[in-house]
Amino acid sequence: MLGVTTLGLGVLLFESGFSLIILFGIHHALNEAYGKRTESPAAAKALAPVRALLHLLCYLIILRTSLSFHTLSIEVLGTGLALTVIYYLYSLNRQPRTASPWSQHQVEALSVLAVGLSIFVNINFLQLVLFHFILWAFIPMPKLWAISKAELGRYVVFSTSITGLFLLMSPIGLAGHFGFTTLYTSQFYFWSYIHIITAFVLSSSHPRWITEPLWGPDSR
């Protein structure tokens, strides 16, 4: 029943024309903020909400030239990001250094640096999607390496094969050669909606008010 509801919601959002950029932005911000890190549970709980806000504001600022964001004031977004960074550093300073070492904040630093880069280089939506995809492709690798090199090898081969297949079928491959770019693009967007909505159900990288009703109190 839950699967049918999830699929139905994804189809509804796709057919209604709900902004994929907004939906993906929320998905991206929550995943980056609530994904498991090697820091204390107390530090993760304290820092996750401000992390989510930081990633969302960085995302919106980077895509400020998108048609979807023409009505948003860059001054407001920039001020909000500056205040969020200050509060994030303040919150981090209140945590014991061993509870949340600096190595746990590289993604946040990278996001802020990407905002600065976007002043000189136009970064579009699909490039951010690619960054998100590559980042989350690398995240399981240390855990798989700890299990066995063979397990990591199988993961790399499978991931590389699937990525190659998608590229082969994409507009830079067969879709462009045989003229079904529109079909590929529509399918890409449709399954993006399904993926994002499914992630809210299947992934624990979300706030407790989302994960606990689905996964129980021990979901994080």
Give SS3 for 73.
coil
Q: What share of the chain in percent tops pLDDT 90?
A: 20
Counting the structural domains of the chain, the total is: 1
Give SS3 for 115.
helix
Q: What is the pLDDT of residues 44-102, one digit of tens each?
A: 888 999 999 999 999 999 988 775 555 567 888 899 999 999 999 998 888 877 766 77
- Maximum Cα–Cα distance across the chain: 58
The answer to whether residue 150 sits within a structural domain is no
Q: What are phi and psi of 121, to 5 degrees?
A: -130, 135
The answer to whether residue 207 sits within a structural domain is yes
Q: What is the pTM of this model?
A: 0.80
The answer to whether residue 202 sits within a structural domain is yes
Give SS3 for 66.
coil
Burial 103-112 (b: 16+ CB within 10 A, else e): ebbeebeebb
**Which domain, by its residues, includes 104?**
2-139+170-215
22 in Cβ contact with 71 (< 8 Å): no
Q: What is the pLDDT of residues 131-159, one digit of tens each?
A: 888 877 887 888 888 888 888 888 889 88
Provide mean pLDDT across the span 13-31. Answer: 89
The answer to whether residue 192 sits within a structural domain is yes
With 0-12 / 13-18 / 19 or more C-beta atoms within 10 angstroms meaning exposed / middle / buried, residue 43 is buried
